[in-house]
């Protein structure tokens, strides 16, 4: 058996160019599962890019993990454009998706168009993501017809946390039929992929089977075409992660140990040593 890399693969495949929305869609035809992570700065983007992560999302989760707010609502276009530009600069292979923040697209297709154009022109994003189903279809259609790839987002859409009355699983019972209808409508409107957040596994499986575009799960069980996690969650920096998070590293603990070692050595005079000093 050949050990040559599968250059068609999304994860760790061909490296000479950016991943495109066509690549992402073709992966579904091959039943290839792939990872997406969030990124908010150039150095972490480079690590993820070199590891072969094919799609990076500059999520409005930056509101919480970068800017320290307690929800995604306060973050603005001005806050996210520099982060998106940094992720684009720090990567050379990944498709970079910019999240449109709360209040920057809901008012009208024209508002969505103006916001998305800023992310494409000023930050170099390759696609945008927005939350919602039926109510944002005119926005999705306008963006797609202007040549802007759109990633949809259904289920627990955090920008609607106040309407949901908290961060809770969505799509149980009859509301699952509504979510299925929204998913089909987003595909019909031209979305190239769809995030499903905090929905029952069975519903995510049915949506994944019903759509020809890839589904990207977060708290949606193992059956979606792709999986996404916020990088601070998967690296163990987040203090109280959600049930759906798997912690792959103890970054909080490692950083705590390192910064205490630095502080102790400064206090004792052990740092800087001769090799860190100039003659």
Q: Which of residues 209-238 bind ligand KIV (CB under 6 A)?
A: 218, 228, 230
Question: What does DSSP assign to residue 194?
Answer: E
Q: Which residues have C-beta within 8 Å of that of residue 62, sequence separation ≥ 6?
A: 38, 40, 75, 79, 80, 83
Interior CA angle at 255 toward 249 and 260, to 5°? 145
Q: Is 87 in the site for ligand KIV (CB under 6 A)?
A: no
Taking CB atoms, the residue at the shortest distance from ligand KIV is 59
- Residues 139 and 130 sit within 8 Å (Cβ to Cβ): yes
99 binds ligand KIV (CB under 6 A): yes
Q: Please calculate the CA angle 215-124-153 and round it to the nearest 5 degrees.
A: 25
Q: 99 or 182: whose CB is closer to ligand KIV? A: 99
In angstroms, what CA-CA distances link 253 with 64, 236, 237, 238, 257?
Answer: 20, 8, 8, 11, 6
Beta carbon of residue 242, minimum distance to ligand KIV (angstroms, whole number): 10
* Shortest reach from residue 195's CB to ligand KIV, in Å: 5
- DSSP tag of 243: T
* Residue (248 or 262) nearer to ligand KIV, CB: 248
Question: Is there a catalytic annotation at residue 197?
Answer: yes
Instruction: With CB under 6 A as the rule, give the number of residues binding ligand KIV.
Output: 11
Rounded to a whole number of angstroms, the minimum distance from the CB of residue 143 to ligand KIV is 17
State the chain's maximal CA–CA distance in angstroms. 74
Say how many C-beta atoms besides its own lie within 10 A of residue 205's C-beta. Answer: 18
Question: In the numeric block, which tokens belong to residue 140?
Answer: 């999705």
- The catalytic residue among 32, 122, 178, 197 is 197
In angstroms, rounded to a whole number, what is the distance separating the alpha carbons of residues 142 and 28? 25
Q: Is 198 in the site for ligand KIV (CB under 6 A)?
A: no
Using CB under 6 A as the criterion, what x/- string covers residues 32-61 for binding ligand KIV?
A: ------x------------------x-xxx
State both tokens at 231: 């990088």
Q: Closest approach of Cβ 5 to ligand KIV, in Å?
A: 28
* Site track for ligand KIV across 148-167, x = CB under 6 A: --------------------
Does 77 participate in binding ligand KIV (rule CB under 6 A)?
A: no
CA–CA gap between residue 179 and residue 219 (Å, rounded): 15
Residues interacting with ligand KIV, by CB under 6 A?
Answer: 38, 57, 59-61, 99, 195, 197, 218, 228, 230
Q: Catalytic residue numbers?
A: 197
């Amino acid at each position: 058996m050949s050990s040559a890399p599968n250059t068609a693969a999304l994860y760790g495949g061909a490296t000479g160019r950016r991943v495109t929305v066509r690549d992402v869609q073709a992966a579904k035809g091959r039943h290839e599962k792939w990872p997406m992570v969030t990124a908010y700065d150039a150095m972490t983007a480079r690590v993820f890019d070199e590891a072969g992560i094919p799609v990076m999302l500059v999520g409005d989760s930056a509101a919480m993990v970068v800017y320290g707010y307690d929800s995604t609502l306060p973050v603005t276009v001005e806050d996210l454009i520099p982060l998106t530009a940094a992720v684009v600069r720090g990567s050379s292979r990944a498709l970079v998706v910019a999240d449109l923040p709360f209040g920057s697209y809901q008012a009208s297709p024209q508002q969505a168009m103006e916001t998305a154009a800023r992310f494409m022109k000023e930050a170099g994003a390759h696609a945008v993501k927005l939350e919602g189903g039926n109510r944002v279809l005119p926005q999705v259609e306008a963006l797609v017809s202007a040549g802007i790839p759109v990633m949809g987002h259904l289920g627990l859409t955090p920008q609607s946390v106040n309407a949901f009355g908290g961060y809770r699983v969505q799509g149980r019972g009859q509301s699952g039929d509504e979510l299925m209808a929204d998913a089909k409508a987003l595909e019909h409107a031209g979305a190239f992929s769809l995030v499903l957040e905090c929905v029952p596994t069975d519903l995510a499986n049915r949506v994944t089977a019903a759509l020809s575009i890839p589904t990207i799960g977060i708290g949606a069980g193992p059956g979606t075409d792709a999986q996404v996690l916020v990088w601070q969650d998967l690296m163990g920096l987040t203090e109280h992660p959600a049930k759906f998070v798997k912690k792959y590293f103890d970054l909080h603990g490692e950083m705590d140990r390192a910064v205490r070692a630095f502080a102790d050595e400064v206090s004792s005079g052990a740092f800087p040593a001769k090799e860190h000093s100039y003659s």
